[in-house]
Structure 1
Amino acid sequence: MKITVDTGSCVSSGQCVLLAPETFDQNEDDGTVVLLTEEPSSGEEDAVRQAELSCPAAAIRLSGT
């Protein structure tokens, strides 16, 4: 699984950070998504899928799932 994020679309809701904190963080200045790793650990994959589905701006995209 590979993750990409569109920070320009991000609305800073923080759902991704709550669901998958090992993979996502938020920018301290504007709250937009920060991708910590493009390839999550196997234990984090389900949480990353939930983060993608929960993102109100559809700013998270997964490939190779």
Structure 2
Amino acid sequence: MFRYVYEVLGMGWVYAITKLPIIGGAVDAAYGVWAKYRLKVTGRPDLITLIQEREERRNCSLEECQV
């Protein structure tokens, strides 16, 4: 998946070495671990939390919401 994103961005050179079978497999495994823990590592909320927070802001009146 990350290869596709870089390709679309015109940055295929970034991942070119990952086309080699051994390196590609290692990078895929490492990316799988990163994808699983990246939100915890970066301190960012998950998608469900983001959606809930957005809905709360959208549904509250000006008196109830803190700006």
TM-score computed with the length of structure 2 as normaliser = 0.25
- Which structure is higher in helix share? 2
The higher-RCO structure (CA 8 Å, 6+ apart) is: 1
Structure having the higher Rg? 2
TM-score computed with the length of structure 1 as normaliser = 0.26
